[in-house]
Amino acid sequence: MLYIVPTPLGNLKDITLRSLEVLKSVDVILAEDTRTSSKLLQHYNISKPISPYHQHNEHKIASHIADQLLAGKTFALITDAGTPGISDPAFLLVRECAKHNIKVETLPGATAFVPALVNSGLPITRFTFEGFLPLKKGRQTLLKRLADEDRTMVFYESPMRLVKTLTEFIEYFGAERQCCVSRELTKMFEENKRGSLHEVCQHFSEKNVKGEIVIVVQGAP
C-alpha cells in the first residue's frame, strides 16, 4: 500500500488525525526534503525511517519503491507542504503503482491553491490550475493562449519571480484584469492582496516578498 499524505502549509495544526495515524503506521516515509519533514515528524513524536523522494531522484527510484511495495512494505509519501502531486513529486510513483496493481490511497488535506482560490473573491465555479509557468521554453506561447481563457486561473510562483510574472500578466491579460496574490498561507504573516494586476504588481514592487505564492487571476470577459 502506498499512502499519499498531505502535510501542513505552515501551521502544524493543519494535519488530519488520519494522516498522523498513517504516518505512525507505515514502514517508510518518503519525503521531498527529509530535513523539513523531520521537524513535522518530531513535533508529533513520529519515529519512522525517512527516505528522500524528490524531482531529482524519482525517475531512478520509483520502480525500486514499487518492488518494495510488492514485497509487502507500506510507504507514505509526503512533501514539504501541501498535497503530493500538486506541483510536487508523486505522479511517477503513482503511475508505477498503477502499472503493478499496487493499491494507492490519497488522503484529503492541505493544498495551497484551495484557500487562495476561495479567498480571492473571484468566480470559482469554474477554474483552471496552471501551477508554475514554464521558465523559458513555451512560456510566451502559454501566456498568449491563456489571454483568452474565460475561467479563473490559478498559478504558483516563487517570491523572486513574482513581480516579473505579474508584469507579464499585465502585458498579456491587461492591467485592469482582477487578481489576488496570496502568500504565507496559514502563517503569522499571511497576506491576500486583491485588486487589478497593475495595483497588485505595484504593491509587491515596493516590498520585500517572502513565502510561497499563489496567484489567482480573473478569466477573460
The reported pTM is: 0.93
pLDDT, mean of residues 97-121: 97
pLDDT, mean of residues 176-189: 96
Instruction: Return the percentage of the chain with pLDDT > 70, whole number.
Output: 100
**pLDDT value at residue 141:** 96
Residue 203: pLDDT band by 50, 70, 90 thresholds?
A: very high
What is the dotted CATH code of the domain comprising 2-106?
3.40.1010.10
Give the pLDDT confidence of 165-177 residue by residue, as tens digits.
999 999 999 999 9
Give the CA distances from residue 10 to residues 80, 92, 146, in Å, rounded to whole numbers and listed in that order: 10, 26, 30
Domain 2-106 and domain 113-217, same fold? Reply is no
Domain map (residue ranges) of the chain = 2-106, 113-217
- CATH fold of the domain at 113-217: 3.30.950
Give the pLDDT confidence of 48-89 residue by residue, as tens digits.
999 999 999 999 999 999 999 999 999 999 999 999 999 999
**pLDDT value at residue 108:** 97
What are the DSSP calls for 1-48, one per residue? -EEE--B-SS-TT-S-HHHHHHHHHSSEEEESSHHHHHHHHHHTT---
Give the pLDDT confidence of 115-138 residue by residue, as tens digits.
999 999 999 999 999 999 999 899
